[in-house]
A = this chain, B = another copy of it.
Amino acid sequence: MCGIFGVSGHAEAARLTYLGLYALQHRGEESAGIVSFDGKRSHAQQGMGLVADIFTEQSMRSLRGEAAIGHVRYSTTGSSIERNVQPFLANHRRGTISVAHNGNFTNTVSLREELEEAGSIFQTTMDSEIVVHCLAQSKVKDYRQRMIAALARLEGAYSLVLLLDDILVGARDPHGFRPLCLGRKDGAYVLASETCALDLIKADYVRDIEPGEVVFIQKKKLESVKPFPAVKPAYCIFEFIYFARPDSNIFGQNVYQTRKRLGQTLAAECKADCDVVMPIPDSGTSAALGFAQAAGIPLEYGMIRNHYVGRTFIQPSQGARDFKVKVKLNPIRDVLRGKRVAIIEDSIVRGTTTRVRVNTVRQAGAGKVCMCVSCPPLRSPCFYGIDFPSKKELIAARRSVEDIRAYLELDGLCYLSLPGMLQSMPLPAEHFCTACFTGDYPTPLPKKITKDILEKRG
């Protein structure tokens, strides 16, 4: 998964982008980058790690200009290399091009073959570089038409921000898988994956970029086109379930309130016979509040999150198994001892982490441990940008709910139903892609969805 941000026409373009990425950090912790354009030249700064660690006052000063885009990237197996840090920047006879991408093209393999056949040399394995080569090989003179022609070659899921010199471009694929919103700050337009990025820079939310829409922004003026035939929308429902920040609005709707509603519906479906309701912090926190209030069962913070848990951690040499999970959350014995506990979690992917947590709650003295999950079982991989593991590793793809309960050593396990999930959403059911739950993919998929493609996800 990734987060993207762009701004044009603001004297503090790079700094706003830095802040935007800071707010979008949860969408990608592996690497980050910013490219700015100062009227003549592009400037780039990027690195592996967290936004706060990569950029310095000195590097920010070098990012001159009134237009900038930025990107944060999630860790995906096999391609955690510095070369693949976005935005991808290239100098071309028509000027500089930089691209930041969130999503996943489904025709990467064939597109790349075509482009290399025509003489293109690829520096990276990123989708964003493909966009640049599509632009470079096009003979169309008008940059808008060239942009549209390049986008027309892309299939799959994308929200994109680009800089063509000082022109900021924003684009969302016709299905609208990934979010992208438009804001305004001191008269300048801003693009961001989520509204939390607008909040941090005190920009006003204007509207979402629509599925299939392309916007060209230059010197505080915005031009919008919708050049592609309309198709059924397919908003990623998992953004609401897990991925987006609770204080964000995505697809025009608040995430926290949606999660709380999922908890309420969950309480109606799962009649938990328990003394206390406790969330897995912080992923289950919003749903647990909704659950507790709807069920009339007291909420307790039975586990406390260690706020200093980062990525590096020196493990003890003995008994290190499960350590990473334990260092993050510590149960409170005095709260849990002898209680019948209903744990609220947002989702279960592999099940390994959940198993450790359940065990931790039990070790802390809980008398009975149940779990209520605020979405249905995850059964199918995502080809549109969420880095779920392969089908083999998704626990619900292979096992029944009863098997999962046994594996997790729970006294009870309850998933939210598909209708329950959809009815808790703030938008009609037909707006969403629910492929990870149902296996119904909203686009055709090429046969070659190879390991290679999986590695290129942005």
B316 touches A16 (CB 8 A): yes
**A199: B residues at CB distance < 8 A:** 330-331
* Cβ contacts under 8 Å, A200 to chain B: 326-327, 330
Closest 6 A-B residue pairs measured CB to CB? A119-B137, A247-B304, A93-B116, A254-B334, A90-B121, A25-B308
Could you say which residues of chain B place their CB within 8 Å of the CB of A326?
200
A294-309 interface code vs B (CB 8 A; 1 in, 0 out):
0000111101101110
Whether A26 lies near B316 (C-beta < 8 A) is no
A55: Cβ under 8 A from any B Cβ: yes
Residue from the list B293, B313, B318 in contact with A52, Cβ < 8 A: B313
Q: How far is the CA of A60 from the CA of B320 in the complex (A)?
A: 15
Question: Which interface residue of A90, A122, A136, A247 has the most chain B CB atoms within 10 A?
Answer: A247
Residue among A282, A293, A308, A327 with the most chain B CB within 10 A? A308
Given A91-B122, A120-B136, 16 other A-B contacts at CB below 8 A?
A: A12-B316, A18-B314, A25-B308, A51-B308, A57-B314, A90-B123, A116-B136, A120-B120, A246-B332, A247-B331, A254-B333, A254-B334, A256-B301, A282-B307, A285-B301, A293-B299
Residues of B near A132 (CB, < 8 A) are: 121
Quick one: copies of this chain in the complex? 4
Given A247-B331, A304-B245, A310:B12 Cβ within 8 A: no
A440 lies within 8 A of chain B by Cβ: no
A299 x B299 contact (CB < 8 A): yes
Q: How far is the CB of A328 from chain B (nearest CB, A)?
A: 10
Asked if A23 is at the interface of the complex by the 8 Å CB criterion, the answer is: yes
Interface: A118 (CB within 8 A): yes
Which residues of chain A (109-125) have a CB below 8 Å from chain B? 113, 116-123
Q: What CA separation (Å) do A125 and B132 show in the bound complex?
A: 18
Kindly identify, within residues 54 to 111 of chain A, every residue whose CB is under 8 Å from any CB belonging to chain B: 55-57, 60, 90-93, 97
